[in-house]
Amino acid sequence: MKERISNSGLLLAIIKKDIRVYSRNMIYLFLTVLGLVFFIAIFWMVPDEVDEEITFAISPSLDVLISEGKKLLEEAGLPAEIINQLEEAKTAFEGEGLVLVEFDNEEQLKQAIRGELEVYKTEQQHYLFHDPESDQDEPEDADRIQLGIGMSLPPAFLGDAVLGESQTVTFYTDADVPEELRNAMQGMIREIAYHLAGHDLPVELPDEEVIILGTDRLGEQITMRDRMRPMVAFFIMMMETFAMASLISNEVLQRTVTALLVTPVRVGHFLLAKTIFGTALAMSQAVIILLLVGAFTVENWSLLLVTVLLGSVLFTAVAMFVGAAGKDFIGQLMFSMLFIIPLMIPSFAVLFPGSVATWVSYLPSYPIVRLLYDITVYDLLWADSLYHLAYAVIWVVVIYAAGLVVLKRKVAAL
């Protein structure tokens, strides 16, 4: 009498077969390696620095504004102590994070905003102007800076502000400058004018500690590379949906499943083996890429592994859907995109911060993306992650159960 094969032996045999089939498919093997290399290369290519300075153009220079203002006030017969207060205008333009580029005239300023005049900054914090249409060489040992916003003031602006006279200030902005920045710069000019005129703003602002909610990241902004760190792991797990779906689809279309069921293998063995293989395939690649981008720490490794496991099971379940429904390569590809595109949306919502739409938070991939991002970027720990972990588990169980039902019915119908 032959010895009865154990369930673990049957599972191991199916998994070994899947590994052989996967390793012989040169297309998906190549895409797997290419995906790892591509995402790692993208990660190290994106900027690792955040420019927290606002570069602002002004015409005429501050020295001209102050000298013209003093001249006007002297002609008006104001006392010297009031005239000397014009020097305080310089401090308003020397705030933290504000870089002022001074132009002699309004036409130069407009050319710089339009990009017709190049502006370079030297190591000594001096600014050089270069006309790209001229034969003059570009300045050496200087970095080019982009000017997106500036303003042209009347030479007597400061003096008129002290005397309470109205003046017109012209703002010039590039189309890419956010509306919030334009309003902030306009508000700054109004505040300077109020101060010079001897009036306080008709509002009272609370302390900074009251305004800032959460972590104040002034000077510690998150770089694009840090934002990309969790996303590369998410995308690599998502990419394995195509490979796993192809494997399942081929076995269904070629009736390999029917041949397996003639043996002691049962449908449950087949489904469990596919779950183990698909999860291991996606998780191993995600762990490799997280190691290579330095995402693991002593504090977060266990939570990060659990999150990657949940994400791998989720995309394996999606692959079961696609593999059971796909009838050929094109049909399988189109059906994959039907699932993948909606699941990608939360990754972009997290990558580019802002107010996430309510419907985005209902997508199955949202808690996975949120956890990956918060763990690797904000050092989230177990105590603060329980809500999103529970949310992710619920979605994974629902999608996985649905995937099992669909694939089981497909196998039973063969």
Cβ-Cβ contacts under 8 Å for 186 (sequence gap 6 or more): 171
Among 158-167, 176-185, 216-225, 337-346, the range of highest mean pLDDT: 337-346
Cβ pair 10, 269 in contact under 8 A? yes
Q: Are residues 259 and 385 in the same domain?
A: yes
C-alpha 72/C-alpha 94 separation (Å) is 24
Please report, rounded to a whole number, the percentage of residues in the chain having pLDDT higher than 70. 78
Contacts of 225 (CB under 8 A, 6+ apart): 43, 44, 46, 47, 48
Quick one: pLDDT band at residue 212, thresholds 50, 70, 90?
very low
- Indicate whether 255 and 359 sit together in one domain: yes
42 and 60 in a common domain = no
**Same domain assignment for residues 394 and 307:** yes
- Same-domain status, 226 and 254: yes
Least confident interval from 26-35, 288-297, 401-410: 26-35
SS3 271: helix
Of 169 and 398, the one with more pLDDT:
398
pTM of structure: 0.70
Domain boundary among 180, 211, 242: 211
Which two tokens mark 265? 């293998």
In order of 53, 97, 127, 140, 152, the CA distances from 123 in angstroms are: 16, 17, 10, 11, 27
Is there a domain that residue 398 lies in? Answer: yes
**Is 1 inside any structural domain?**
no
Residue 22 in domain? yes
pLDDT digits (tens, 9 = 90+) for 349-379: 777 665 567 888 889 999 999 999 889 888 8
Cα separation, 85 vs 317, whole angstroms: 70
CA angle 153, 125, 55 (to 5 degrees): 45
Instruction: Tell me, yes or no, whether 190 lies in a domain.
Output: yes
Q: Which two tokens stand for residue 113?
A: 């905003």
Q: Is residue 397 part of a domain?
A: yes
User: Would residue 217 count as lying in a domain?
Assistant: no
Same domain, 136 and 206: yes
pLDDT number for residue 261: 66
Distance linking the first and last C-alpha atoms of the chain: 31
pLDDT digits (tens, 9 = 90+) for 266-298: 777 778 888 888 899 899 999 999 999 888 988
User: For 291-324, what is each residue's pLDDT tens digit?
Assistant: 998 889 888 899 999 999 999 999 998 888 887 7
Same domain, 62 and 201: yes
The answer on 205 and 80 residing in a single domain is: yes
The phi and psi torsions of 14 (rounded to 5 degrees) equal -65, -40
203 and 325, same structural domain?
no
Phi, psi of 154 (to 5 degrees): -65, 140
Domain end residue (candidates: 187, 211, 235): 211
C-alpha span between 155 and 106 (Å, rounded): 11
Say if CB 222 and CB 50 are below 8 A apart: yes
Question: Which residue reads 């339009």 in tokens?
Answer: 114
Whether 168 and 64 map to the same domain: the answer is yes
Rounded-to-integer distance, Cα 208 and Cα 187, Å: 18
Instruction: Count the Cβ atoms, other than its own, within 10 Å of residue 92.
Output: 15
Asked if the structure places residue 2 within a domain, the reply is no
Rounded CA separation 148/176 (Å): 8
CB 108 within 8 A of CB 86: no
| Chain-centre distance for alpha carbon 38 | 18
The neighbouring-strand residues paired with 121 are 127, 143
Residue 210 CA to residue 389 CA, distance in Å, equals 31
Domain carrying residue 205: 54-211
Decide if 216 is inside a domain: no
Tell me which residue of 20, 33, 375, 380 sits closest to 236, measured CA to CA.
Answer: 33
Distance CA 317, CA 127 (A): 58
Two structure tokens written together for 234? 């998410």
For residue 340, the one-letter residue type is I
Residues 60 and 201 in one domain: yes
For strand 149-152 and strand 170-173, is the pairing parallel, antiparallel, or unpaired?
Answer: antiparallel
Domain boundary among 211, 234, 265: 211
The count of other CB atoms within 10 Å of the CB of residue 298 is 6
Under DSSP, is residue 220 helix (H, G, I), strand (E, B) or coil?
coil
**Looking at the structure, do residues 190 and 232 belong to the same domain, yes or no?**
no
* Count of residues in the chain: 414
Name the domain count of the chain: 2
